[in-house]
Amino acid sequence: MSLIRFEKISRRYQMGTETVHALREVTLEIARGEYVAIMGPSGSGKSTLMNLVGCLDSPSSGRYELNGTDVSQMDDNQLAEVRNREIGFVFQTFNLLPRSNALHNVELPLIYSGMGSEERRRTALESLAAVGLADRVHHKPNELSGGQRQRVAVARALVNKPSILLADEPTGNLDSKTGQEIMALFEELSRKGHTIIVVTHEEDIARRARRIVRIRDGLIASDERQESKA
């Protein structure tokens, strides 16, 4: 059974009298454990697709099943719960809370899921250790390097043991060496069985994934599986 099932998903934006079709009846299935790269020119609808997969946004039409449940009709609060339990986000701009230290940033999803403070702290520390930041837990984002910030973001995304890790251009704000490190981290996570979807512009980053979905003008232009490099 697919983890993600898009059935004729469309996302339209009304700009005055004009309608922008960011996604046009996209049908897509992603199974548990897959490592998918999403590519395409700027404005083609990659972020729109990611936001829909991540339940940050609701489709204008179509049906979205996540883990067998229809989430396209859910209300705000139900979606918040799904995001909290099923989805881990990594953004291009890190999106950490600037006034909170690394530990608190990573604890946040656990606070929202109602975990008790002791277990929460332990879980968050484990998650930070898993991305190699055990010695930086009390640093605030502005006291960390870009790569370290993105690691905190990955730790936060994974702390709730979500079904999917979504990353929209996670290396876009990093130099190529740090970007490579983050991608190595993703590969490791993939090997451990995480489902990962990455949006990227860079071919060599995409080639690390097992499957590349190319988007153009809100449509899927190609969907190819690569030889396993392992």
Partner 1 sequence: MNFLTELREGLLISLGAIRANKMRAALTTLGIVIGIVTVTLMGTAIEGLNQAFLKSISSMGADMLYVSKFNWITRSHSEWMAMYKRRDITVEQAKALARQADFASAIAPTAEDDHSVRYKNRRSNNVMIIGSTEQYLPTSGASVAIGRFLSPSEAEGGRPVCVLGSEVATNLFRNESPLGNRITIGPRTFEVIGVLEKQGSLLGSFSLDNRVVIPLRQWTTWFWNNPNLDISVKVKDVAQLDEAREELRQVMRRIRHVAPGKPDDFSINQMDQFVEMFHRVAGTIAGIGLFITGLALFVGGIGIMNIMFVSVAERTREIGIRKAIGAKRRTILLQFLIEAAAICLLGGLIGLGIAWPLTFAIDHFLPATMSLKVVGIALLTSLVTGVLSGFFPAWRAARMNPVDALRAE
Q: What residues make contact with ligand ATP under the rule CB under 6 A? A: 13, 15, 20, 22, 40, 42-48
CB of 156 to partner 1, least distance (A): 7
- What's the number of CA atoms in the CB half-sphere (13 Å) around residue 85? 10
The two three-digit tokens of residue 42, written as one number: 């700027």
The entry of ligand ATP, Mg ion, partner 1, none near residue 74 (CB within 5 to 8 angstroms by kind) is: none
Comparing CB distances to partner 1, the nearer of 88 and 147 is: 88
- Pick the binder of partner 1 from 84, 101, 150, 190 (CB under 8 A): 84
Do 205 and 183 contact (CB within 8 A), yes or no?
yes
SS3 223: strand
| Residue 138 binds to partner 1 (criterion: CB under 8 A) | no
Comparing CB distances to Mg ion, the nearer of 146 and 172 is: 172
Other CB atoms within 10 Å distance of the CB of residue 63? 15
DSSP string, 157-214: HHTT--SEEEEESTTTTS-HHHHHHHHHHHHHHHHTT-EEEEE-S-HHHHTTSSEEEE
The entry of partner 1, Mg ion, ligand ATP, none near residue 160 (CB within 5 to 8 angstroms by kind) is: partner 1
| Residue 95 binds to partner 1 (criterion: CB under 8 A) | yes
Provide Rg for the chain, Cα atoms. 17
CB of 203 to partner 1, least distance (A): 27
The entry of partner 1, Mg ion, ligand ATP, none near residue 44 (CB within 5 to 8 angstroms by kind) is: ligand ATP
The interface with partner 1 within residues 98-127 (CB under 8 A) comprises 99, 108-109, 111-114, 117
- Pick the binder of partner 1 from 148, 160, 171, 195 (CB under 8 A): 160
Do 171 and 202 contact (CB within 8 A), yes or no?
yes
Do 104 and 140 contact (CB within 8 A), yes or no?
no
CB of 21 to ligand ATP, least distance (A): 8
SS3 105: helix
The interface with partner 1 within residues 170-229 (CB under 8 A) comprises none
| Residue 68 binds to partner 1 (criterion: CB under 8 A) | no
Q: Smallest Cα–Cα separation from 184: which of 158, 159, 147? A: 147
Kindly list the residues in this chain that would bind partner 1 in the complex (CB under 8 A): 51, 54, 56-57, 76-77, 80-81, 83-85, 89, 91, 95-97, 99, 108-109, 111-114, 117, 156, 160
